[in-house]
Amino acid sequence: MLEADIWIIVAMVIYFVGVMAVGAIYTKRSNKSSTEYFIGGRSLGPWLTALSAEASDMSGWLLMGLPGLAYFSGCSEAGWTAVGLIIGTYLNWRFVAKRLRRYSEVAGNSITLPDFFSNRFHDKKKILMTISALIILVFFCVYVGSCFVTCGKLFNTLFGFDYVHMMIFAALIVFAYTFLGGYLSVCTTDLIQSLLMCGALAVVFIGTVASIGGVENCANALRDIPGFISVTLSANPLEQGGFGVPTEYGIVGIISAISWGLGYFGIPHVLVRFMSIKSEKDIKKSRIIAVVWLVISLGCAVCIGLVGRAFLPDMFTTKATAETIFIVLSKVLLPSFLCGIVVTGILAASMSSSSSYLLIASSSIAKNIYKGLIKKDANDEQVMFVARVTLVIVMAFGIFTALDENNTIFNIVSYAWAGFGASFGPLVIMSLYWRRTTLSGAVAGMLTGAISVILYECFLRDIVGLYSLLPCFILSLLVIVIVSLLSRKPSKEIQSEFDSAIN
């Protein structure tokens, strides 16, 4: 092994030891109760809430998937997707965060999203809770897999280590500190990781531009690539090198990319941050922090892909390999130890997200299915035991999903993102803003969103060309409204609870 590789590994080991220490520190407090373990006792401040929400949301997709997309096809899809995510983040913090924080406490002190849905509609048979918990389990297995793919590609690209072995190793590290420390350890490491991710993106972007000879040289190189810096054209890389005639990236593509923002309304690992913030008064500050962080991070991620093409014009000819552009630039441009710190940002992103996914999936099964349906008198110790068993199961499914190293991170994430956005997003909005929403409407809308995404992705995506999230989101929303209007009005108790929560 080269000396440079040893220094990179040293930096990573320091990081691993640090996150394990955080998990150990919070073990005692997290084991006090399930509320502490799952949402930190609703004690998070504005900085921790904002940065943990964004770090868990972005995952390795931010440092590999998005730069890889920009490197491969240019500015259009990557740029419009970033715009959609920024808009969606702002709207979610602006219109959902405060109401959900308040309503989740009014509705039986709900500590998970399935809890909230069930308590909001007084679902005594736990139908809504069961369906939502199962949807979370299915789509989070996919999400966790995307994070493990990121880790495997990282070690394979840096050191030539076996992809599968290193992917499993990273999965075990994530499992260990999530198992030990619960929500507080996840959010605290998210805070550290969010700062590391943003710093890593900025360092690599600035370093690449400087190596090319400045902004003007970089712009001149990119202008020579057909369609690369256009927002209405998509570059067409050829496998043998060079570029073909660019393809049109028209209104359908732009709408599809911007519609990514709709996903935020239904993403459990972001919504649970709203439920756990200490005070409603902190939400405005958290919103500003979150949006500023996202603008900087997404801007740098897209630009890294673009300037990476100018710096290494013919190095990657497939989408899967292009997703390693951030890693390669870091290794080429930076001293070994600094490279280790920077690429640890990828581990930070992937591990923060996968830990959140593992925790939310486990809480849904333990709280909502085990305690909600199977053993209603289960104590906290039993619930947490089931949660940790579920962690093992979800991790195993994630590893299985990630076994193929040719998986594209961007595509895996887009599938799970659409699934959550269409299943939960319309229902979250209607639950918080429409008193007339009924249990029947909620069940019908949630099932419509989940099933329509699966069917659309299997049979219609290539034909229609529109990202599944938008049509399936709209369809779910319409079904909620229609079925609610056709069914009996909510009870006076539910309507009174609604009024007390939103006023």
DSSP letters, 157-168, are HHH---HHHHHH
Residue 182 has pLDDT above 60, yes or no: no
Per-residue pLDDT tens digits for 125-161: 888 988 988 898 888 788 788 878 888 888 888 888 8
Please, are residues 439 and 123 in contact by the beta-carbon 8 Å criterion?
Answer: yes
Q: What does the pLDDT average to over 426-454?
A: 96
In the prediction, which pLDDT does 438 show?
Answer: 97
Instruction: Give, as one character, the DSSP assignment of residue 228.
Output: T
- What is the percent of the chain where pLDDT is above 70? 90
The angle subtended at Cα 57 by Cα 56 and Cα 63, nearest 5°, is 90
What is the CB-side half-sphere exposure of residue 348 using CA atoms within 13 A? Answer: 32
CA 148 to CA 168: how far, in whole Å? 8
Q: Per residue in 159-174, pLDDT tens? A: 888 888 888 887 887 7
Residue 352: what pLDDT?
Answer: 62
Q: Judge whether 135 and 446 are in contact, CB under 8 Å.
A: yes
Which residue type, as a one-letter code, is found at position 20?
M
List beta partners, residue 248: 233
Rounded Cα–Cα distance for residues 352 and 357 (Å)? 9
Between 42-56, 98-112, 175-189, the lowest mean confidence (pLDDT) is in: 175-189
H or E element at residue 285: helix 283-311
Query: CA 134, CA 114: separation in Å to the nearest integer?
Result: 10
Which stretch of DSSP H or E encloses residue 70?
A: helix 65-73
The dihedral region occupied by 117, where left means phi > 0, alpha psi between -120 and 50, and beta the remainder, is: alpha
Place of tokens 């959902």: 96
* 109 — pLDDT class (breaks 50, 70, 90): confident
What does the buried/exposed string (b/e) look like for 416-449 if buried means 16 or more CB atoms within 10 Å of the residue's CB? bbbbbbbbbbbbbbbbbeeeebbbbbbbbbbebb
- Predicted structure pTM score: 0.86
Instruction: Give the mean model confidence (pLDDT) for residues 179-191.
Output: 61
3-state secondary structure of 232: coil
Of the pLDDT bands very low, low, confident and very high (cuts 50, 70, 90), residue 375 is confident
410 close to 65: Cβ distance less than 8 angstroms: yes
pLDDT band at 119 (very low <50, low <70, confident <90, very high): very high
Residue 369: pLDDT above 60?
A: yes
**pLDDT at res. 387:** 81
Calpha distance 295→410 (Å, rounded)? 19
